Amino acid sequence: MHRRTLIALSLSLTLTFAPLAPALAASPQPAKGEHGMVVTAQHLASEVGVEVLKKGGNAVDAAVAVGYALAVVFPNAGNLGGGGFMTIRFKDGRSTFLDFRERA
């Protein structure tokens, strides 16, 4: 009886999580930019960030666009309602730190 239960459980877990495999698979080709780099857990979101950089946007613009893209194509990565930290270095050498953690 225990063997049948184990087999049934294994089969049900496989059928439940198998459709997620394509979303979790690595990108077949990395997205590339000439003067910047964008790395995410999902290649479509990376491509969005690269396009923002190609059109003259800065790293913050690309990060915001990637956040929106990930909310659509890979919602398990988190969402815009979450918080985080960011260090920004400007062209003139100045830098600043943002703490945008969520609050209860």
Tell me the HSE value of 14 on the side-chain side, using a 13 A CA sphere.
6
Q: Is residue 82 one of the residues assigned to a domain?
A: yes
- pLDDT bin (cut points 50, 70, 90) of residue 19 is low
Q: What is the DSSP letter of 63?
A: H
pLDDT for res 37? 86
User: Domain total for the chain?
Assistant: 1
pTM (two decimals): 0.60
Closest to 96 in 3D by CA, of 85, 80, 83:
85
pLDDT for res 25? 59
pLDDT tens figures, 47-83: 999 999 989 998 889 999 998 999 999 888 766 777 8
* Token pair of 74 as six digits: 């890979």
| Domain limits for position 59 | 29-99
Q: Is residue 3 one of the residues assigned to a domain?
A: no
